[in-house]
């Protein structure tokens, strides 16, 4: 199938910074596009395609998937695999494509978690949906309390040995377990490239030791949910809109979570205004200001939203006074 898409020839003109991932030879864009939402069967596929085009035009070379992204699970990889084949085949070597395994995908005892059986079978399924021969990064999506860490890390090492992944990473691993996983991989002759944790102004758990581990061991960090499911945007400054995520009965963001943070959201917004930024721009810039962070994962439901998020790159620096004010506002 022929494509009508021609990338912007100025996509590498310096607007998008590229940062070295830990002590590896790989650089990632400061902002990466996450496919957790907005690319499943329930979404507008023409808009999804437009978002992918515009992201690449803006210098976003990293597309982040997981086997269970959708909804329904698997549909984000399948839908975007068709777009990758149609529009990006000629540019595959300019792209970093990542996927993950660990959450429930099929019936029976082998359809989730961190066994060798699950991870390698899931990787094969992801490659089939994405219509790719390999992914650039393959993650263990979450630690498995019942599978030996050596088995899970061994499966990641096998993915590299089989040529089905160029690099491997871990996601949602606490500091002590992450350190052990990184060391196990090193003993197998494999570098752990990157860790993907939840991190934002309201959720700072990685500062309790994980960032120290990653820095010490030369591993990159790519936080997800940097805008706290939309709380760190202008969406909730004046309450909870009826069409917002928090107004829905089911979902990750609940109304009481927003209500608890309203005072902090408004205080942070005032600091952002003093900086000449939107709250979302400041929240993303704050993430990127952390020395352990390589890239921040952003989602986008429209081209307009994507373009707006990328504008955070216009002002990334903070004064010590601003950082102290932000810390004080977050505990209101």
Q: Where are the domains of the chain?
A: 26-236+283-316
- pLDDT at position 20 is 98
Report how far apart the first and last C-alpha atoms of the chain are (Å, whole number). Answer: 54
Cβ contact 170:195 at 8 Å? yes
CA–CA distance, 110 with 108 (Å, rounded to integer): 6
Of 19, 109, 5, 117, nearest in space to 52 by CA: 5
CA distance readout (Å), 255 to 251, 292, 313: 10, 32, 30
DSSP string over 99-111: EEE-S--SSSTTS
Structure tokens at 73: 């699970």
Of 213, 224, 227, nearest in space to 172 by CA: 224
Under CATH, what is the fold of the domain 26-236+283-316?
Answer: TIM Barrel (3.20.20)
CA–CA distance, 166 with 135 (Å, rounded to integer): 7
DSSP string over 102-167: -S--SSSTTSSSS-HHHHHHHHHHHHHHHT-S-EEEEEE-S--TTS-HHHHHHHHHHHHHTTSEEE
Other beta carbons less than 10 A from residue 9's beta carbon: 8
332 residues of the chain, pLDDT tens digit each: 678 899 999 999 999 999 999 999 999 999 999 999 899 999 999 999 999 999 999 999 999 999 999 999 999 999 999 999 999 999 999 999 999 999 999 999 999 999 999 999 999 999 999 999 999 999 999 999 999 999 999 999 999 999 999 999 999 999 999 999 999 999 999 999 999 999 999 999 999 999 999 999 999 999 999 999 889 998 878 766 565 554 455 455 557 777 889 999 999 999 999 999 999 999 999 999 999 999 999 999 999 999 999 999 999 999 999 999 999 999 98
């Amino acid at each position: 199938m022929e494509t009508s898409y021609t990338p912007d020839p100025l996509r590498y003109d310096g607007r998008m910074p590229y940062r070295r991932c830990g002590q590896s030879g790989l650089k990632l864009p400061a902002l990466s596009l996450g496919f957790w939402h907005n690319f499943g069967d329930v979404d507008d596929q023409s808009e999804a395609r437009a978002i992918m085009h515009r992201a690449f035009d803006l210098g976003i070379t990293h597309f982040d998937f997981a086997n269970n992204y959708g909804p329904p699970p698997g549909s984000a990889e399948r839908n975007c695999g068709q777009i990758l084949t149609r529009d990006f085949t000629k540019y595959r070597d300019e792209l970093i494509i990542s996927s993950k395994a660990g959450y429930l995908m099929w019936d029976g005892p082998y359809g989730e978690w961190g066994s060798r059986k699950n991870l390698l079978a899931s990787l094969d399924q992801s490659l089939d949906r994405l219509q790719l021969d390999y992914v650039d990064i393959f993650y263990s999506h979450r630690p498995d309390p019942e599978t030996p860490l050596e088995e899970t890390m061994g499966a990641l090492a096998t993915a590299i040995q089989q040529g089905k992944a160029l690099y491997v990473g871990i996601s949602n691993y606490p500091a002590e377990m992450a350190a052990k996983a990184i060391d196990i991989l090193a003993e197998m002759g494999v570098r752990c490239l990157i860790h993907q944790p939840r991190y934002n102004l309201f959720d700072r758990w990685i500062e309790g030791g994980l960032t120290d581990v990653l820095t010490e061991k030369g591993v990159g960090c790519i936080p997800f949910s940097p805008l706290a499911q939309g709380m760190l945007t202008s969406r909730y400054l004046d309450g909870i809109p009826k069409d917002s995520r928090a107004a829905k009965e089911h979902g990750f963001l609940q109304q009481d979570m927003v209500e608890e943070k309203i005072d902090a959201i408004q205080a942070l917004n005032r600091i952002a205004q003093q900086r000449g930024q939107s709250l979302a721009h400041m929240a993303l810039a704050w993430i990127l200001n952390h020395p352990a962070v390589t890239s921040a994962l952003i989602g986008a439901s429209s081209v307009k939203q994507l373009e707006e998020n990328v504008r955070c790159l216009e002002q990334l620096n903070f004064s010590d006074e601003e950082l102290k004010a932000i810390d004080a506002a977050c505990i209101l």
